[in-house]
Amino acid sequence: MTLQFSLGPVAPETVETPCVVVGVYENGVFTSAAARVDTAANGAIKRQVESGDISGKAGSATVLFGPEGVTAKRVLVVGLGGQKSFDGARYQKVCIEAARALGRLPIDGAVCCLTEVEVPGRDAAWRVRTAALAADYAAYRYTATFKPREKSTQPELSALAFAGGDDAKAGLEQAAAIAEGVRFARELANLPPNICNPAYIADQAKAFADANDKVSCNVLDHVEMEKLGFGSLLAVGRGSVNKPKLVVLEYKGGNEGDKPYAFVGKGITFDTGGISLKPGPGMEEMKFDMGGAAGVLGAFVATVKMGLALNLVCVVPAVENMPDGDSYRPSDVLTSLSGLTIEVLNTDAEGRLILCDALTYTAQTFQPQVLIDAATLTGACVIALGKHASGLMSKHDDLAAELLAAGETTLDRAWRLPLWDDYQAQLDSGFADVANIGGKNAGAITAGCFLARFTEGQRWAHLDIAGTAWDEGRKGLATGRPVPLLAQWLIDRVAG
């Protein structure tokens, strides 16, 4: 469900709402809102703290129904953890847990006073934006296909008001746009691969362009790409009946003639590994192998909805990697759009083969001032960084610093890995200019080194989101990352 957000000053003890949300630290330390509610309710919260029913543990949630002296029908008391160690990451966590707790209640609206909690180094706009994005994330339900929801007889949370003043208004406006981009990305990535194929991604991009001013869409099919020389990308898609598409979205929100920023996202709509077939267990998660495409498209949506004053290009190579009599093989030599030849050592290292042609096309066609790609590229990055941080690689220290800072602001964090030329020797080939894998050591880095060969002369960065694009498990959903990071990076470019 899409939550409707609002903002305004709140007197927590007298606000008329089905539920008001306040916070309590460990050791019984009350926030201002909790103290006001407790005073009005003749110590109702304090008694629960003293009895141990409210612990203050981070993310815990306790509902007080109909406390006397308080206008709200319910008070949701959320634990904030230790006050001295409270930080932005904890704040985001408690906001998510608060939203989940609200979602379990039979209410259609609530007022959240957590936005008044002091967070070291963060202003009111950040607190409101983070709380709104956390709530929207928690409220998301995948219901697009095959699993119709039973109509609930109970009210469902549809509106959330935050305590805050005009200084937080910009944060709420940004949150609404970024949340729309995150939902777009999550829904696209969660769809099954029999629906979300290359043609479907192209159709969604066209529909978005048709519905929004300053946005245009162009889609190249496999025939057009063959004429242009997309030898690497087309090889990956040869084994599938779902033919590749190159989706190109343009947003012209800046001055005419200004060089655009450019995002490129890996769009493998399903990855079997091709002839180098993946093991069966876990292969169902390979519908998420277009998480990079979903992420850059979501960031594009957020940018348009914010109306940022810049020009942005979003390029998605959308391909399905399948085994077939016409599939490309290990030991094939491909000629990429750049003219570099590639020896295929493993057909399951296919993401870099579609990205290299897409990066070349984007650089040649648009001459962007910055080129950033996002891809669920390597299992090696998951081994290195787990599910918490995206891998960031760039030869440009200033660009890397900008992206890392955007990640810290949004808590959609990345960690920089080296892209030294020392690693390039692992990609040496006796039969072509470059091999498509560099062996088992430093697999995430050698994948980045491969892409670096196709971005010479570009101010370029690579985000490996293999660990962060979706949650593990049979019921794991797409996360929508790195939409917040990329959106914040563009916000910073306009502000700068």
Active site residues: 278, 352
Distance CA 390, CA 480 (A): 12
Residue 149 is classified by DSSP as P
Distance CA 55, CA 323 (A): 55
Using a 10 angstrom Cβ sphere, with 0-12 exposed, 13-18 middle and 19 or more buried, the burial of residue 220 is buried
Assigned token pair, 139: 């409220």
CA angle 449, 454, 457 (to 5 degrees): 100
Assigned token pair, 324: 């077939």
Q: Give the Å distances, CA to CA, from 44 to 34, 76, 423.
A: 10, 12, 63
HSE-up (13 A, CA, CB side) for residue 92: 15
Tell me the β-bridge partners of 394. Answer: 461
Do residues 261 and 312 make contact, with C-beta atoms less than 8 angstroms apart? yes
Instruction: Tell me if residue 261 falls in helix, strand or coil.
Output: strand
Tell me the β-bridge partners of 5. Answer: 160
Residue 425 is classified by DSSP as G
Residue 424 is classified by DSSP as G
Instruction: Tell me if residue 464 falls in helix, strand or coil.
Output: strand
Assigned token pair, 397: 């220290």
Assigned token pair, 13: 């003890």
Do residues 468 and 390 make contact, with C-beta atoms less than 8 angstroms apart? yes
Q: For the stretch 296-327, what's the b/e string if a residue is b when 16 or more beta carbons lie within 10 angstroms of its beta carbon?
A: bbbbbbbbbbbebebbbbbbbbbbbbbeeeeb
Distance CA 137, CA 262 (A): 26
Q: Which amino acid is at 92?
A: Q
